[in-house]
Amino acid sequence: MDAAALRAAHPVLEHTAYLNAGTCGPLSHAALEQARSGWERAGTEGRSKGYYERYMAITPRLRDAYARLLAADPADVALTTCTTESIVRVLGGLDLKPGDEVLTAPDEHPGLLGPLITLRERRGITIRTAPLADLAGAVEPQTALVACSHVSWTTGALAPADLAELDIPVLLDGAQGIGAVPVDVDALGCAFYAGSGQKWMCGPVGTGMLWIAPQWSGRVEPQGLAYANLADANAGLQATPWPDARRHDATTIAVEQMEVALAAHDVLEGFGWAAVHERAAALAASLADGLREHGRVVAPRGATTLVSWESEDPPAEAARLAQAGVVVRNLPTTPYVRASVGAWNDAGDLERLLGALG
Ligand SMILES: Cc1ncc(COP(=O)(O)O)c(C=O)c1O
């Protein structure tokens, strides 16, 4: 892979050691150009028949792109606005009843915990927690669903492989997974995979995806049928939802944003996803080693792209690094500062971070 070309494709890296794709990935020149031309076109052509044709053209292409990355059938992939929306659609659509238990990990992201709280308040489900690594063994007869990260946002640990052997559904929060590490939804053995477009896919905020295993598609009710969800939207009260995952598409996503999401994806796909994943994981592992050599305690992690280390004052350390042109973040309520390492980074970025540590 031409790593220098991948780096040069992302303008923020010209001046910054940008290590924050776990929040939002770097936007590429191609994505920015698509944003400019896409909005320009809408302005000059107006938003009429041609605009609708753009919508009809972009949705299957973006769905196909996400499906390739999930190793999934596009018919099982819904286009959503973010990971959280995908989670909301699954939790709200499943027939979970009072007394049903959802098992999760205590340090999951609010994007998962918030929708679980809603379910507890509205439907009377119970929520129990166990450490991510121990979730499979913590399942009990009343457990109806396991909902957890594919990649932990705090430590970069991977969901344990034994989740694939459970005979109850598993919802994976893939916000830190898709685009960052190889994903094969069948191999993961999950029933649902929720992901973000703006993080490791380097797309715009307001894009994301939801994969639903075919055997679960009939058991997730759509959350209100909008135009995009109807196979025959003009059939009035006789209208019916799409039989495939389009029934779970977001109510609306701007055409321009979907075009940018695809342009961003195409840049990374052009370098080869396998190479992108491999390089990012190798750089992240090397940063973890460098931090240990600097006497830092690195959070127990997996072969992922997130590297968190303990800091006496995480917000102050993140702010100090920002002053040195190194963009990382602290994680509230944890002792950690987190670096998100992408294939677009290089050894110079990692040295800059290590050099700026106190
Ligand atoms: C593990 C995890 N889940 C969910 C989210 C929320 O993602 P989104 O904004 O796409 O809903 C994040 C964002 O940081 C995350 O790290």
**Res. 51 pLDDT band, cuts 50 70 90:** very high
Residue to mutate (ligand 1; options 80, 81, 84, 305; most atoms within 8 A of CB)? 84
176 within ligand 1 shell (Cβ under 6 A)? yes
306 and 248 within one domain: no
63 and 42 within one domain: yes
Domain region containing 285: 3-29+272-356
pTM, rounded to two decimals: 0.98
Pick the residue whose CA is nearest to atom 12 on ligand 1. 175
Structural domain total, the chain: 2
pLDDT at 250 over 90: yes
23 and 147 within one domain: no
Query: Residue 322 sits in a domain of what CATH number?
Result: 3.90.1150.10
pLDDT in tens, 98-134: 999 999 999 999 999 999 999 999 999 999 999 999 9
91 and 177 within one domain: yes
pLDDT in tens, 287-329: 999 999 999 999 999 999 999 999 999 999 999 999 999 999 9
Residue 358 confidence (pLDDT): 75
Output b/e per residue, 189-217; b: 16+ Cβ within 10 A: bbbbbbbbbbbbbbbbebbbbbbbbeebb
304 and 264 within one domain: no
Residue type present at position 4: A
Among 216, 240, 269, identify where a domain stops: 269
Mean pLDDT of the chain: 97
96 CA from centroid of ligand 1 (Å): 23
Q: Which helix (H) or strand (E) holds 274?
A: helix 273-293
345 and 237 within one domain: no
304 and 188 within one domain: no
Structure tokens at 293: 């050599």
Query: Residue 261 sits in a domain of what CATH number?
Result: 3.40.640.10
pLDDT in tens, 5-26: 999 999 999 999 999 999 999 9
196 within ligand 1 shell (Cβ under 6 A)? yes
329 within ligand 1 shell (Cβ under 6 A)? no
Structure tokens at 317: 């350390």
pLDDT at 219 over 90: yes
